[in-house]
Amino acid sequence: MDDPHLVDTHNPEWVAQSTVDACAEVEILFYLPHEFVVHGNNPDTSPKISLPTPRFPCATPDWYSSTEVLGHECELITYYQKVLDVAAEHAFGYDDVSAHFWLNLSIGSKASNVGFPWYDHYHECEGVLSWLETAKDGEIYHDVDQGWENTMIAKGRLIHVREWDPEEGAEYLNKAFYRQELLVSVAALRNRMRSILPKLVSGVGEDYWTKFRFDLSRFF
């Protein structure tokens, strides 16, 4: 990935085309799919194991926001413990089950949000949060991965964001958010995550959310 902390004084043409989004909500979502697919030679016919997804409501199926999760950590711990039980039963390794511990960063309204599809752990989300808190006028955040590119530019009271597919040349969105509203939302998000993550780590016994665990062996 490119160095995300770039400073540039030019004004890209797309900045003038940004649409201001009144919803400057910054969220992190927990990915909790409702079943575990036991992979075999034929994924379509492989057995599926139901998982105890939380009983509290979520706005997006299988994705639970930190706002929704706060106060319900025990239900997430039950879910994650079941995932680890399945892994042990089938001799699965960390790579086989790591997707069940994914997080996802989102900025904006649920109907039309800026997504970071390649950011699966908190330390990756942290890079964006820190940039939003400290970006000087004209400073750019940039990242690119398979079929996805994100550029954010701080301009006056606004943070402009463009998300597009550099391989196909298709623009997903081009928005601007009020910086102060983003900062308020980031602060609230940090407070929630400071409460949630330690409880999950304590309840499960390992930290699977902060970063990808390269240190884990093939089998748990």
Q: Across all residues in the chain, what is the average pLDDT?
A: 88
Q: How confident is the model at residue 95 (pLDDT cuts 50, 70, 90)?
A: confident
Mean pLDDT of all residues in 166-179: 90
Per-residue confidence (pLDDT) for residue 32, from 0 to 100? 96
Q: How confident is the model at residue 94 (pLDDT cuts 50, 70, 90)?
A: confident
Decide which of 162 and 167 is more confident: 162
Per-residue confidence (pLDDT) for residue 140, from 0 to 100? 95
Mean pLDDT of all residues in 5-16: 64
pLDDT of 9 above 50 = no
What percent of the chain stands above pLDDT 90? 65
101-120 pLDDT, tens per residue?
999 999 998 767 898 999 99
Q: Please give the structure tokens belonging to residue 211.
A: 């970063």
pLDDT of 168 above 50 = yes
27-60 pLDDT, tens per residue?
999 999 998 877 655 556 677 889 998 999 998 8
Per-residue confidence (pLDDT) for residue 42, from 0 to 100? 58
118-164 pLDDT, tens per residue?
999 999 999 999 999 999 999 999 999 888 999 999 999 999 999 98
The DSSP code for 18 is: P
56-72 pLDDT, tens per residue?
999 888 999 999 999 99
pLDDT of 2 above 50 = no
Decide which of 220 and 161 is more confident: 161
Phi-psi region of 108 (alpha: psi -120 to 50; beta: other; left: phi over 0): left
CA distance linking residue 176 with residue 165, whole number of Å: 19
